[in-house]
Amino acid sequence: MEGVSVKFTKAIAALFCAGLFVVAVPNKSHAVAITWDLLDHGFGALGPFYGLRLDSPVPTGTGATSGPDRLFSFGGASTATLTFDTSGGGSASISGTIIENGNADNPACSGGTVDSANDCSVWDLAYTFTGISVQDVGDPFQGFTATGGSGTVSQQSSSLVLDLGAKSDGSGFTFLWLADGHRLPGDNESLVGRGWVDPVNGLGGANDFLFTGQVVPEPGAIALFGIGLLGLGVMTRRRRSA
């Protein structure tokens, strides 16, 4: 019985370690669809609360020529995620909520309270990329480029909706999601998302995405980690009993 107990203990310990490893290092070789929690890039004078910038956007369905400049955060209370699937030629989209962090007349919101009508409000973001080129079909962690895209941002506290198109960067791309150290000196591992958007107003301006991401662990990895923790508890109880 003692030999069986030792074998069981070793097996549980190995499973626990495997669970830790899978959670810490996502499986790159077998993954097809990957989801990232999006975070502000934190670069430049507009950071660190900068994930989406819209200069003079036009509300959908109105006769207005333009609205106030708007900055949105992908950090803090935001739930925005990017999902990328390499199967079938590749597909990618962003969905979730983002937080408005001020405009031309208001400083960036530090979170928690509403300081003005256009500060700290919650918006729903939905954006789908088109014309995707997958960097490596076998490894979604290598990212992608896109030549088009469209979507909307909708303010939850009102009926305000802003359309988002896509605008070329001059070399044929409208968006890049690559680990190439973009504005991250010395870091060539973190994926950076950036690309011009057209707030459907034809007025130009600096309208763009700029963010990084953190991988959401796969359900299987979380389950394995849970089993490992359970096994660790069993090991502890058995040792105390002994």
Lowest mean pLDDT among 26-35, 36-45, 100-109: 100-109
Residue that wins the pLDDT comparison between 237 and 60: 60
Query: What does the pLDDT read at residue 233?
Result: 53
H/E stretch holding 192 reads: strand 192-196
Domain residue limits at 125? 31-216
Residues 35 and 148 in one domain: yes
Q: Is 231 helix (H, G, I), strand (E, B) or coil?
A: helix
Cα dist from 135 to 13, 68, 186, whole Å: 37, 37, 21
Residues 105 and 201 in one domain: yes
What would the pLDDT profile of 94-127 be if each residue is shown by its tens digit? 999 998 875 544 445 654 444 444 567 889 999 9
Residue that wins the pLDDT comparison between 8 and 201: 201
What would the pLDDT profile of 123-176 be if each residue is shown by its tens digit? 999 999 999 999 998 888 999 999 999 999 999 988 899 999 999 988 999 999
Residues 73 and 21 in one domain: no
Residues 150 and 185 in one domain: yes
Q: pLDDT confidence of 57, banded at 50, 70, 90?
A: confident
Share of the chain above pLDDT 70, in %: 65
Q: How many CA atoms lie within 13 A of 212 on its CB side?
A: 19
Beta-strand relationship, 175-178 and 192-196: antiparallel
Residues 172 and 195 in one domain: yes
How many domains does the structure of the chain reveal?
2
Query: What does the pLDDT read at residue 31?
Result: 60
Residue that wins the pLDDT comparison between 64 and 147: 147
Residues 201 and 225 in one domain: no
Residues 55 and 146 in one domain: yes
Residues 52 and 163 in one domain: yes
Q: How high does pLDDT run on average in the chain?
A: 76
Residue 48: pLDDT over 60: no
Query: What does the pLDDT read at residue 185?
Result: 83
Residues 65 and 170 in one domain: yes
Residues 152 and 134 in one domain: yes
Residue 21: pLDDT over 50: no
Residues 225 and 156 in one domain: no
Residues 119 and 209 in one domain: yes
